[in-house]
Structure 1
Amino acid sequence: MAGDAVAGRTKRELRRVLVPLALAQFICSFAGSNMNVMINDMSKDLDTTVEGIQTAITIFLLVMAALMIPGGKLTDLWGRKRLFIIGLALYGVGALMSALAPNLFVLILGNSILEGVGTALLIPPVYILTTMLFTDVISRARAFGVISGMGGVGAAAGPLIGGLITTAISWRAAFVFQALVVAIIIVLSLRALQDPVPADPTKPFDTVGAVLSAAGLVVLVTGIMLADNDLLLMALFMAAGALLLLWFFLHVRAKERKGEQPLLSTRLFRNRASNLGLVTQNVQWLILLGTSFVVSAYLQVVRGYNAIETGVIFTAATAGILVSSIAAERFAKRRKQRTLIIVGFIVTLCGIALLVSMVSGSPTAWAFAPGLLLIGLGVGAMLTPSVNLVQSSFPDELQGEISGLSRSVSNLGSSLGTAVAGTILVAGLVTWSYGLAMITLAALGLVGLAAAIMLPVNLVPAKDAAST
């Protein structure tokens, strides 16, 4: 049946399933970037600074990255549909709390913590259900094209939609918008979603592993955020984060040797294509969210543009992602996934080069458009094949783990993009710091390109993958 019907589901039923899943990815990605155009409004209203808003954005992305792996594992215990609904409910409560926030602390509690935890619970089921329901490479590419495309559009269109709402009403209304979309998704999900595999609450959950993995990621990225304050403290935090992650790895190995079930199976790291695909995912989101924060902050703080003007400029990136994501199925039929990822990185790097060269010599904000368009086209072209490559590398029984790991790596890239590029930018908030931040993103983009080039030329088909 290969994508036409799975476990008795018709094409129409699968399309109905895809709508709430794609909308969920859209709203979570939207939340990661829409605050970028509210920096001035929010910092004034909440009596804080640009660094304060950057911290809230980074914590939101970091909470997602830190909890995505445990969230993926919980899908086996609680069920994919149930965890999806719980995550949406937490997200909605966090959005409403953010809309009513009187200060930065409450904003961080609502947006960074509750929305972050909700996202970590709801996103793994999106990718697990898609992998299980769409069983061949082409239909899965089509489904992931819709979901990844909506994610990319959410991240790129976040500044525009957020800018429109902020200018027309208030930044607080943008969070009300998120809550309304979440309510719609819950209604659609209750009607359309069914769990293809029953939950097994008797499965053990590796609590120690969950704590170690989350703590390691949080401490590591916190160290990066301290770069412009105290270099010694930054080094200490990064070293502590690395040690915690090493402890996590040793813990996982020890549990497997005892015949127990760890948070993550080491099998996930023995697949070369998947490992390299995870690197490409991390760098893609790092570039997309890093560019969004840097350009948005620069336009508002240095150039003096308001939220709507900043958001309109980002339509170029949104258009690029939308065009290339829509073409995902056609690309999958005609080109190898490896080729699409390589080309995507090359186009994205050309876009960053344009952003640096054209903007430095032009006073008009529209000089940002060509570079943002190329970045949108490049990232949109490689989001789907990277996700498809990683998810298709493992059988159904490992989908909970690989989905959590995959989304954790992607969201870690988002938080690193905001933390690294944002830290460089806010240290000076002048033209030279903007250029340095973008050059840093380009250098990290080269790492992604190198990983893409090292991908196996002949990748294992989805049905036969990672039985290795």
Structure 2
Amino acid sequence: MTDLKQAEVRAPGQHRHLGWALVLISVAQLMVVLDGTIVNIALPYIQSDLQISDANLRWIVTGYALAFGSLLLLGGRLGDLYGRRRIFMIGLVVFGVASLLGGLAGNEGLLLAARGLQGLGAALASPAALALITTTFPAGPARNRAFAVYAAMSGVGAAVGLLLGGWLTGLDSVFGLGVEGWRLTLLINTPIGIVTALLAPRFLAESESHPGELDLPGAVTGTLGVLGIVYGISRAGTDGWGDTWTVASLAAGLVLVAAFLAVERRIAHPLLPVRVFVNRTRAASFVAMFFAPAAMFAMFFYLSQYIQTVMGYSPIQAGVAFLPFCVGLVAAAGLASNLANRMDPRYLAGAGTLLAAGALYGFSRLPYDTTFPVTDVQGSYLGNVFPFIVMMSVGMGLTFVPLTLTAVHHLRSEDSGIGSGVLNTMQQVGGALGLSLLGTIATQTINDRVHQLSAAAQQAMAGGGQQMSEAQQKAAQAVASHQIFTEGATDAFLLGAGLMLVASLVTWVFLNVKHQELATDGPEGAVHVG
């Protein structure tokens, strides 16, 4: 923070309080990202308290993700047109108010509506936060360090959400607060969001505004198109790719995206200018940031379940188990920000993606043909989980920082918001697609094993095999269930490693910008990027 404050070279209009500006941007980004997972551990308590059906329970998480992912492009462009600080503040206030409504919700409908409203606030605040870094911090070491902090917040947010969610959920019983602990997972955002919004005018400069240039046809078709795709992908993870609503949603989404692209070619002030994609390095960054989160989300989704259901960790213990990921990613992001001044981003992100792919391959080797539940929990964690959590954290730290830098570098000032929105959209859609693909693989493996075991059990009974007691049957079923889940998860991890290798291939082949160019400022074309 001291180094940032002491930065001497600033572009016109950039604010002097760089350290505090980064604090506000980082707090906002962390809050937005962790809210995707903070309620996960509290879901059983929410279901019991508000009498929510199993079918609707997933909408508490999915509703936020859908609103967030589908509105990011619009949120990014609104920042370009009406002032990034203004949209950043509006997003934080909307997020804080929505969190208050959700925390006080007395029924399912209000809670689900609040989660959707949180997604809207996040879609306004998140791309504006990233764009504010590009317009507030001068190119070079100061901006690299700012991006390192931003990338660290984006990466550790999911893990922090699991830890914070587990802790807050149990607070009512620990301290006797007289309020259900799950409500605190939402209410905690209200003071943070409002205070951050109120402090923004003091430490963040406003950007130029261009009112009257909003592309309404593009906003409608683009938002609904992304919504259809994200919903279809998310539904495929639970209902299958052949489900009628999955197919219909994906088809409608693709048609609307095609209409969106046709509109953008004809309009004077498009929501998503084609020039954002024509730079080869930037396009490669977007593609790599599509595949990398798709693979990373597999770790959080399946490993958190493995640690709790198979290893027997409590929710708070599971959160603590992910702490090495937070520490490693923050350290690696700091290292990457320093190396970015001396090393081309291709080598940083290329090495990072290879490390992450190796970590996912390591998770795919979790033993499943053994007795469950795990008896030597500590030994299993230290031997089978901890080394690869650390490897994954270092890999993602080395990946996120250079890819974020190259994705928004040399964008025109008037396009930095929509560029940030595209990057965030790639991460959200990629994450949803990754979970659905990995879920399909894991489910297929699980179903195959269930059928095999059922057939073997029927054959044994038909052959007059020894009958087990009810207690023995339950114990055997528990062991088989853990074995089957673990085998399905390992197949998902293996596919995740493949997705990460795709991100690595894109990085090594197409990310050819030099580190000297990252230390320059100005719009694209001012400095040639090959």
| Fold shared, TM-score > 0.5 on shorter chain | yes
Name 2:466's counterpart in structure 1. none
Tell me the residue number matched to 1:337.
345
Deviation string, structure 1 residues 316-336 (Cα, Å, up to 9, x no partner): 211221111222321212321
2:25 corresponds to which residue? 21
Secondary structure of 1:35's aligned partner: coil
**Structure 2 residue matching 1:33: 3-state secondary structure:** coil
Matched, 1:161 2:164: yes
1:88 aligns with 2:92: yes
Shift in Å at residue 274 of structure 1? Answer: 0.6
Which of 179, 189, 193 matches 1:182? Answer: 193
Aligned pairs for 1:139-288 within 5 A = 139-169=142-172, 170-195=181-206, 197-201=207-211, 203-227=212-236, 228-229=238-239, 231-233=242-244, 234-255=246-267, 260-288=268-296
Distance 1:335 1:282 in 2: 23
Amino acid at match of 1:263: L
Distance in 2, Cα, partners of 1:35 & 1:321: 22
Partner residue in 1 for 2:493: 438
Distance in 2 (alpha carbons) for counterparts of 1:168 and 1:10: 42
The correspondence for 1:114, drawn from 114, 117, 130, is: 117
Corresponding residue of 2:453: none
Q: Distance in 2 between matches of 1:50 and 1:299?
A: 23
Which one-letter code corresponds to 1:271 in the other structure? Answer: N
Distance verdict in 2 for CA 1:192–1:47, change over 3 Å: same
| Residues 395 and 279 (structure 1), Cα distance of their counterparts in 2 relative to 1, 3 Å cut | same
Deviation at 1:28, TM superposition (A): 0.8
2:340 is paired with a residue of what secondary structure? helix
Give % identity.
27
1:454 maps to: 509
Report the residue type matching 2:339 in the other structure: F
Secondary structure of the equivalent of 1:84?
Answer: helix
Closer/same/farther in 2, CA of residues 207 and 390 from structure 1, 3 Å limit: same
Note the C-alpha offset of 1:103. Answer: 4.4
TM-score by length of 1: 0.90
Equivalent residues of 2:100, 2:187 under 8 A apart: yes
Number of equivalences: 461
Q: Quick one: distance in 2 between partners of 1:217 and 1:101? A: 28
Structure 1 range deviating more: 160-169 or 122-131: 160-169
Give how far 1:39 is off.
3.8
With over 3 angstroms needed to count, the CA separation of the structure-2 counterparts of 1:229 and 1:153, relative to structure 1, is closer
Are 2:15 and 2:204, in contact at CA under 8 Å, matched by a contact in 1? no
Residues 36 and 297 in structure 1, CA contact (< 8 A), matched pair in contact too = no
d(CA) in 2 for partners of 1:46 and 1:9?
A: 49
Q: Does the 8 Å contact 1:81/1:194 carry over to 2?
A: yes
Q: In the alignment, what sits opposite 1:66?
A: 70
CA distance in 2, matches of 1:281, 1:175: 28
Q: Does 1:463 align with 2:521?
A: yes
Structure 1 pair 413/306, CA: closer, same or farther in 2 (3 Å)?
A: same
More moved, 315-324 vs 361-370 = 361-370
Deviates more, 1:149-158 or 1:295-304: 295-304
CA offsets per residue over residues 122-176 of structure 1, 9 Å max, x none? Answer: 1122122211122323221111111111222222222112212222331221212
Equivalent pair of 1:40/1:300 in contact (CA under 8 Å): no
Residues 449 and 223 (structure 1), Cα distance of their counterparts in 2 relative to 1, 3 Å cut = same
Which secondary structure state, in structure 2, belongs to the residue aligned with residue 34 of structure 1?
coil
Alignment of 1:321-332 (within 5 A): 321-332=329-340
Q: Is the 8 A contact 1:95 1:175 kept in 2?
A: yes
More off after superposition, 415-424 vs 92-101 = 415-424
Q: 1:3 to 1:73 in 2, by over 3 A?
A: farther
Report the residue type matching 1:371 in the other structure. Answer: F
Tell me how far 1:17 sits from its aligned partner: 1.2
Q: Does 1:292 align with 2:300?
A: yes
Which amino acid in 1 is paired with 2:61?
Answer: I
Asked if 1:137 corresponds to 2:140, the answer is yes
Aligned Cα root-mean-square deviation (Å): 2.7
* 2:316 counterpart residue number: 308
Per the TM alignment, residue 372 of structure 1 is displaced from its structure 2 partner at its CA by 1.9
Q: Any gaps of 5 or more consecutive residues in structure 2? A: 173-180, 447-480
1:377-396 to structure 2, matched below 5 A, reads 377-396=394-413
Residue type of the partner of 1:90? V
- Give the 3-state SS of the residue equivalent to 2:298 in structure 1: helix
Where in structure 2 are the equivalents of 1:362-377 lying within 5 Å?
363=374, 364=377, 366=381, 367-377=384-394
Task: Report the Cα offset of residue 425 of structure 1.
Answer: 5.5
Q: Which of the numbers 321, 345, 356 marks the counterpart of 1:348?
A: 356
Question: How far did 1:14 drift?
Answer: 1.1
Alpha-carbon contact 1:359-1:368 (below 8 Å) kept: no
Residues 101, 373 of structure 1: alpha-carbon distance in 2 compared, 3 angstrom cutoff: farther
Query: CA separation in 1, counterparts of 2:287 and 2:216?
Result: 26
Per-residue deviation, 1:20 = 0.3
Within 1, Cα distance between the matches of 2:278 and 2:194? 40
Between the aligned partners of 2:232 and 2:272, the Cα distance in structure 1 is: 25
- SS state at 1:358 partner: coil
Shift of 1:53: 4.2
Q: What letter matches 2:134 in structure 1?
A: T
1:219 maps to amino acid = G
1:123 maps to 2:126: yes
Residues 464 and 173 of structure 1, relative CA distance in 2, 3 Å threshold: closer
Cα 1:53–1:342 change in 2 (3 A) is farther
Check conservation: 1:89, 1:118, Cα contact below 8 A. yes
AA aligned to 2:502 is V
Q: How far has the Cα of 1:81 moved from its partner?
A: 1.4
